[in-house]
């Protein structure tokens, strides 16, 4: 190997703390399939994916990666990788089809079997209660802009705690409520496809309330040793320049992208600047007495999903926009550097910046990277191998950024790579591959990519080397 080929010294022998959690993650609608089996009814993503033009190539999650039938095979793959933890989500319409009333036992039994299989393999199960698959019947009744949906979610949390609380010790209430609220109800590019700025803000508040009520239910039901968390896709926001206009644009995006969740959950308050920014959209009258007390119920850790930074400047954005109250004041600009197949910039420094901000803003709150990864145009070569050097480089740089943040005092307890499997990538259908395991969707054949073997080596070593 020539000197030019040598790997950067910054990733040489970077050991992570003892007990660091090495995981991988998936989401129910993206991998399970079996969309109409054993009592499962449609979610908003079943409905949305059938609407013409909403999902690339008309793809749906009807079969996905067929994990519902291949669960044991997939757990065996995780065991081969050596992961310590597996973060999965529960499909709400699989266990409570209408979002109300008693559970369907066959649905619960699937998650019981999954949990038992993971524990048998020596893997800690990490359950996410909501990864965007709202029962369609609740959407028909008004969806997340309605307060009742948050109430129903709290009841659903109790069902799952009763079913799995003796075996699952780590629980996440919501995954990326920003996407669910603002892409689903603001810009309409995600299910249920509504385009209303006011509805997106109501939905965001009710997601916060659902989180708080679910956290209270979990605390009342689960053993005291259980861990309760929330996962946010926080934005690493950078102003294009140091001008007043660009800095104000970054402030606005930080308010509606980050602090709309962080401030209620961890400080029991609404950001004053957000309320001012959105005054022409809503008067926030849907926030009732006691809501912020419920939302700020103490939790045990914060999950962070990070893929790329956000660069903004003064200007305006297209409508309909997911950025309620900011679209007339903010324009989004491309960040420099290489890009993934999603056309997202590769910038691990953004992850470090985010972790240091949280170190300073939320002292004493343990952090977990609950999603990080990249999509590339992977394919199996004639020998059946799948080479993905770009993904390996992406993961290496981001793990190095996590290590640097830990050295700088951030209390990061684990890293969950997104994703275990190639899957249904929401509005992109099956056109984008995030997995470290290649899935041939025609045959459902699983193949370790080079990145999977690389990650297995990282786990075995407890860090990066070479």
Q: Which residues are catalytic?
A: 176, 371
Cα 91 from Cα 130, distance rounded (Å) = 7
Please report where in the chains the tokens 């069902």 appear, as a residue: 159
Closest CA to 372 of 357, 388, 352: 352
Q: Are 85 and 414 in contact (CB under 8 A)?
A: yes
Q: Are 132 and 191 in contact (CB under 8 A)?
A: yes
Cα 199 from Cα 276, distance rounded (Å) = 17
Orientation angle between helical segments 67-81 and 105-120, nearest 10 degrees:
20
What are 111's strand-pairing partners? Answer: none
Residue 6: Cβ-neighbour burial (10 angstroms; 0-12, 13-18, 19+): exposed
Instruction: Count the neighbouring beta carbons within 10 Å of the beta carbon of residue 169.
Output: 16
Contacts of 251 (CB under 8 A, 6+ apart): 273
In angstroms, the first-to-last Cα distance of the chain is 13
DSSP structure class, residue 54: S
For residue 448, give the 3-state DSSP assignment. Answer: strand
Cα 180 from Cα 46, distance rounded (Å) = 15
């Amino acid at each position: 190997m020539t000197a030019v080929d040598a790997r950067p010294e910054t990733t040489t022998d970077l050991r992570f703390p003892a007990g660091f959690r090495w995981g991988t993650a998936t989401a129910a609608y993206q991998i399970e399939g079996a969309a109409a089996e054993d009592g499962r009814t449609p979610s908003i993503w079943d409905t949305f994916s059938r609407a013409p033009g909403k999902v690339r190539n008309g793809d749906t999650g009807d079969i996905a990666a067929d994990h519902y039938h291949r669960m044991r095979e997939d757990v065996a793959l995780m065991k081969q990788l050596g992961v310590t933890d597996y973060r999965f989500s529960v499909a709400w319409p699989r266990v409570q089809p209408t979002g109300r009333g008693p559970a369907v036992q066959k649905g619960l039994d699937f998650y019981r079997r999954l949990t038992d299989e993971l524990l048998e393999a020596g893997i800690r199960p990490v359950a996410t209660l909501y990864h965007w698959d709202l029962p369609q019947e609740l959407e028909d009744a008004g969806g997340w802009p309605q307060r009742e949906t948050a109430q129903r979610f709290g009841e659903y949390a109790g069902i799952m705690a009763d079913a799995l609380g003796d075996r699952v010790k780590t629980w996440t209430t919501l995954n990326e409520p920003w996407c669910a609220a603002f892409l689903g109800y603001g810009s309409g590019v995600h299910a249920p496809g509504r385009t209303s700025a006011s509805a997106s803000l109501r939905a965001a508040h009710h997601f916060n309330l659902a989180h708080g009520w679910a956290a209270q239910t979990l605390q009342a039901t689960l053993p005291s040793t259980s861990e309760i968390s929330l996962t946010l896709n926080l934005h690493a926001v950078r102003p294009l320049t140091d001008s007043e206009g660009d800095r104000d644009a970054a402030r606005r995006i930080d308010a509606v992208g980050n602090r709309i969740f962080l401030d209620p959950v961890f400080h029991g308050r609404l950001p004053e600047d957000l309320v001012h920014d959105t005054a022409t959209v809503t008067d926030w009258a849907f926030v009732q007495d006691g809501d912020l007390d419920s939302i700020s119920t103490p939790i045990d850790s914060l999950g962070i999903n990070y893929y790329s930074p956000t660069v903004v400047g003064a200007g305006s954005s297209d409508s309909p926009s997911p950025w309620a109250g900011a679209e007339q004041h903010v324009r989004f600009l491309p960040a420099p550097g290489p890009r993934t197949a999603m056309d997202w910039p590769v910038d691990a420094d953004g992850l470090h910046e985010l972790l240091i901000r949280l170190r300073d803003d939320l002292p004493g709150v343990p952090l977990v990277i609950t999603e990080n990864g990249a999509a590339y145009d992977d394919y199996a070569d004639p020998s059946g191998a799948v080479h993905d050097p770009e993904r390996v480089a992406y993961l290496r740089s981001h793990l190095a950024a996590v290590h640097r943040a830990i050295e700088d005092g951030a209390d990061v307890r684990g890293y969950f790579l997104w994703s275990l499997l190639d899957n249904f990538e929401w509005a992109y259908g099956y056109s984008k591959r995030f997995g470290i395991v290649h899935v041939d969707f025609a045959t459902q054949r699983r193949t370790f990519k080079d990145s999977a073997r690389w990650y297995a080596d990282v786990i075995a070593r407890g860090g990066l080397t070479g």
